[in-house]
Chain A
Amino acid sequence: MKTLVRAGRQVLTGAAFVLLALDASAQEDDQIYHWETPRTGWFELQMLNAFVLASAAPYDRFAGAETRKGLEQHFVEVEYGLTDRWSAGVYADFELPPSDSFRYSGVRVESSYRFFERYERVVELALHAEVQVPRPSSGAGEELETRLVLQRDFSDLRVVANPGFALPLSGDASEGLEFSLAAGVYYRRFWRVQPALEYFAEFGSVAAPSPASEQRHVLYPGARVHLAPGLSWLLSVGIGLNETSDRWLLRGVLSYEFPTVPPADQMR
């Protein structure tokens, strides 16, 4: 009963975060997955906000705008530790297209599994998979995305790479499997502020990669700021490295991990 009450409280907390996100301003789904997952019974709430400051890239979702300049994206995620290694979560995606109104843009269901123990192998290894179900009116199709999580700590420096493959499940699936890469370097010497450099690239179809000029390459220098234990905010500026990428972006990822249902209580 106690557990049910707590679970109810968590759902309400999650809903509150969704509402919060509705009022927040700005951003893009560039996100790097680390090896760590929430422990059994622990939750992680995450809100990603992106704001495209300057861009000549075409806006291809919904209707009414030619470029992505001025686009705001907001993603709210609730992730739950099913076991110490395995987590499941759900995203609600929202965006505010240029010169338009705020709208719900889709949902994503995700799961992560981490292998081995920390420092047991040369790199920490995890697998992340998510199914994206965009709102039909957005014009985008459903997609299955899988990412490998490769992570290694070099003393105070953490290096993470997420090579990923996306498979269209509906709509125009002619391009087949697409390849992307997300990678980040984090200086974790101090707890309060941790400088970070993240890189995101989309190479197009595996069978026929896009020419370099049509690929997407964005670099995000920034920093993770720990506001309290369990609560952090990764703030960064996105710099497009070619013409087809957004030129300038602002991005924030607010994360809160908490043991609302302490594992010990699950046993009582």
Chain B
Amino acid sequence: MTKPGLLSLCVLCSACVVRAPGLDSGPRSNPFGGASEPSMPPGEASEEATDDQLALARDEGRTVDAALRYLLSREAFSGAEVRAGDYRVAVALTPVAGSSARGAGSRMHLVVVVTDGYDGRIVPELTLRAKVLDTTGAVLAERPLAFTWHPLLHHYGTDLELAKAGPYRVQVAIEPARMRRHDPKNGDRYEKPAFADVAWLGVEREPARIDDAARLSFAQAQGAAYRRSLATMSDGVAVDGASRRVGDYVVAYAVEFAEGYWYLANGSLKYAARVEESAETNAHVEVSVMDAETGRFLPGLAVTATLYKDGERVGSEREPFMWHPWVYHYGMNWRVRGAGRYALEVAFERPPYAASASPARFASGGRVRFDAVDIAVGQK
């Protein structure tokens, strides 16, 4: 590289590196302007969410934000955050567990935290892809990002072994979300793909030593916020609900009337009005699986629910993840025989991200039975 070229690069880097300690003012505009145009997803009182319930989601979002600030300021080499579409996307480079090497060829971890632009909660069940480039624009790595369980902050991530030293430019592509979304007003989000272009991320800064107690405290704060939402659903909104610990998990259910949702079809969101136009389905069975240690919701599970009435099996349904304006859950509309007392069995496999969880946990899936589940029938 010529001297003027090098000088220009230095000036560019000094202007654009967003160092972690400077992130306390929230997301800033991307110096490259490469992010999708920011849009504010809806957050309005609706049939599914009162203002107070939306506030619960924002409370949870604040705990996520606090953990993110901590990660960026204490645990990351560097990081930056931008608004992109309906999301806030934070990108950081951190050491891999047990290593502090950061030169060319050493392993490091790419952290991408995708949160909702309105309430700040982590958006799970997304499909992400990241590209890492050097200062010449050469692609050093390109790969999908898996949802990663993390003792401080769940995120999308991957371990990297980059041949060249930084600084790095990271481009993150988010596909339109495939999950179902409750709420005719607030569920209309994540329809468009989003893109975030973050530069320059360096690895010069030495992160502080990992503080397990601090991590646990931030994680428990996230879990406590989620549990408050869950308790509000279970005790104040749902027809019935309860929770039980099983191994490394806490499993909860809530039963409501059958309800509509948005779904992605041919690239655009459609509202499943059919649920409201008949009694074809007459109950909505919600399941939540949490990390027992912190109370945080665990996405990405294959959950199956089975209902029994008077000892006889009514049916089994796969319960997909349901985005909800204030309490994420797995859920499905059911056709049950009528109002009354049922037994509910919930089974799920080991999370796909269990192998990367450190310290080790989630050695197996879970199965739990609730013997007295009161179901009322109808459509919401």
Contact = CB atoms under 8 A, between A and B. Distances in A.
Interface in B266-318: 269-274, 276-280, 282
B226 to A, nearest CB: 24
B184 A39 contact: yes
Nearest to B187: A264
Interface residues of A, number: 27
A103 interface: no
Task: Choose among A40, A257, A262 the residue with the greatest number of B CB atoms under 10 Å from its CB.
Answer: A262
Interface string B345-379: 00000000000000000000000000000001111
A119 to B, nearest CB: 6
13 contacts: A36-B276, A118-B257, A155-B279, A155-B339, A189-B279, A190-B278, A226-B278, A229-B273, A263-B44, A263-B46, A263-B184, A264-B189, A267-B40
B42 A263 contact: yes
B186 interface: yes
A121 interface: no
Given A263-B44, A264-B41, A194 B278 contact: yes
Given A264-B41, A268-B39, A257 B185 contact: no
Interface of B: 39-42, 44, 46-47, 184-186, 188-189, 257, 269-274, 276-280, 282, 338-339, 376-380
A263 B262 CA distance: 13
Contact of A232 (B188, B277, B376): B277
B46 A226 contact: no
Contact of A263 (B188, B270, B378): B188
B185 A190 contact: no
B59 to A, nearest CB: 21
Interface in A111-137: 117-119
Interface SS of B by simple majority:
loop
A119 B257 contact: yes
Sorted nearest first, the 4 A-B pairs with minimum C-beta distance are: A264-B188, A191-B278, A264-B42, A188-B279
Contacts of A36: 276
A114 to B, nearest CB: 12
A227 B257 CA distance: 24
Interface in A216-268: 226, 229-230, 232, 257, 259, 262-265, 267-268
A172 interface: no
Task: Choose among B42, B189, B380 the residue with the greatest number of A CB atoms under 10 Å from its CB.
Answer: B42
A118 B378 contact: yes
A263 B378 CA distance: 25
Contacts of A117: 47
A261 to B, nearest CB: 11
A189 B277 CA distance: 10
B185 A264 contact: yes
B40 A268 contact: yes
Nearest to B380: A118
A36 B276 CA distance: 10
A78 to B, nearest CB: 18
Given A40-B185, A263-B42, A268-B39, 12 more contacts: A39-B184, A156-B279, A156-B282, A190-B280, A226-B277, A226-B278, A229-B272, A230-B277, A232-B277, A262-B269, A263-B44, A264-B189
B338 A155 contact: yes
Contacts of B41: 264
A155 B282 contact: yes
B45 to A, nearest CB: 9
A263 B185 contact: yes
